[in-house]
Amino acid sequence: MRFFLFLIFFPILGFSQESFSYKTHKQQVFNIRPGADKVFHYIKMDKQDIVSNSLFVIDENTQKLVIPENGFYEITASFHFNPSTSVIKFNRGGVNFGVVQIAEGIEQYVAATRKSFDQDNQDLFSRIEVYPTIVYLTKDAVIAPAISSGLLGNPLLSCVLGCPRKDKNCVSFSMNIKLISDEDSFQRYY
């Protein structure tokens, strides 16, 4: 009888465990240009920086994070970013940060935060959070973190996703994705 119960509950209990957690201290540099708001600058990820994973199929050949099954997913992300510029002063400094879905040839943010920089933070690191966002994703969609030009007055050259040198505990980028329900649904807009 106990074994019978175990067989019934094992897949259900196993369900809630499917998640992916990533955290890195590494630095990346981007050149973001005005008018190129459809260009996603994807963040390079390193398998060594995966904290835990029971969601995606990942082996030595894996190049992409592929959604394993239809369902509702909860996404969070955190970016530590410095525009490293002096040109935003009194000009436009809108930059987008988020997680992009690539499915059926369309790239779009499924979870994202708009950050508008100004003269006070144009040359400082800011923490940009994508707070928990629930979306319905379909099997085989590719998921990737990205930065993109929002509305900029000038190019941001050599802007940095990273940390100050002295801060050893700083996280430059993190992302968590969790499958919260496998019920059938549909979501056209994000």
Query: Closer CB to another protein, residue 24 or residue 96?
Result: 96
Distance CA 141, CA 71 (A): 11
Q: CB of 64: closest distance to another protein in angstroms? A: 21
CA separation for the pair 82, 67 (Å, rounded) = 31
Query: What three-state secondary structure class fits 132?
Result: strand
Residues forming contacts to another protein in the complex (CB under 8 A) are 1, 4-5, 8-9, 12-13, 15-16, 37-38, 72, 74, 88-94, 96, 98, 108-109, 111-116, 118-119, 129, 131-136, 148-151, 153, 180-183, 187, 189-190
Shortest distance, CB of residue 94 to another protein, whole angstroms? 4
Measured from the CB atom, the residue of 57 and 106 that comes closer to another protein is 106
For the CB of residue 163, give the shortest distance to another protein in the complex, in Å.
21
- Closest distance between another protein and the C-beta of residue 52, in Å? 18
The nearer residue to another protein, 23 or 89, going by C-beta atoms, is: 89
Q: Which is nearer to another protein, 42 or 136 (CB)?
A: 136
Sequence-separated (6 or more) residues with CB below 8 Å from residue 75: 99, 110, 111, 130, 132, 133, 134, 135, 175, 176, 177
DSSP-derived letter for residue 9 is H
* Segments of 9-92 assigned E as strands: 19-24, 28-32, 40-42, 50-53, 65-66, 71-82
User: Minimum Å distance from CB 57 to another protein?
Assistant: 21
Q: What are phi and psi of 143, to 5 degrees?
A: -115, 135
Residue whose CB is less far from another protein, 149 or 172: 149
The C-alpha atoms of residue 19 and residue 30 are separated, in whole angstroms, by 29
